[in-house]
């Protein structure tokens, strides 16, 4: 019976050692600790690789390029304008086909106006014109989405 107790004790010791309890590792923060500033900086989201717009892609006259957020990888281009949304919509209805981007769907009005258009390679993108606050219009060029 004593031998059985020793075997169980040895198995328990091996199990405890395998789980890292009492292994002598400290819980101090290090470079691999996800709570340290160094680790947080190394895991911070980086800017997604964006699909570039062709140099001849039409842009609403007077629109100002805006910084694109890192959390929207489907965004290809972003501008703001002080023109009404209907002007942007009308501009893109005429300018996209003229630049070689046939329109495959038009959805004016509401909270946003959307134009779906095709690329020379057959892909589909969208132009979205929406209110951006303070009377500004936000114009997005983005990958197609439902």
Beta-bridge partner residues of 142: 75, 126
Residue 113: partners with Cβ closer than 8 Å, 6 or more residues away: 85, 86, 88, 89, 107, 128, 129, 130
More confident residue, 110 or 37: 110
Q: Is the pLDDT of residue 17 over 50?
A: no
Per domain, the residue ranges of the chain are: 64-143
DSSP string for residues in 46-74: PPPPPPPPPTT----TT-EE-PPPTT-TT
CATH 3.30.310.80 is the classification of domain 64-143: yes
pTM for the whole thing?
0.67
H helix intervals, the chain = 2-18, 37-42, 85-98
Read off the pLDDT of residues 55-93 as tens digits, 9 standing for 90 and up: 899 999 999 999 999 999 999 999 999 998 899 999 999
């Amino acid at each position: 019976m004593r031998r059985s107790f020793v075997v169980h004790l040895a198995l328990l010791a091996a199990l405890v050692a395998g789980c890292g309890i009492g292994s002598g590792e400290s819980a101090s923060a290090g470079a691999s600790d996800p709570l340290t500033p160094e680790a947080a900086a190394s895991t911070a989201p980086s800017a997604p690789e964006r699909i570039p717009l062709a140099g001849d892609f039409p842009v609403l006259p007077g629109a100002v390029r805006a910084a694109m957020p890192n959390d929207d990888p489907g965004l290809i281009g972003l501008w703001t304008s002080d023109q009404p949304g209907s002007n942007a919509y009308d501009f893109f209805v005429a300018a996209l086909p003229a630049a070689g981007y046939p329109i495959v769907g038009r959805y004016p009005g509401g909270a946003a106006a959307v134009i779906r258009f095709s690329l020379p390679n057959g892909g589909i993108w969208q132009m979205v014109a929406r209110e951006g606050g303070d009377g500004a219009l936000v114009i997005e060029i983005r990958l197609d989405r439902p």
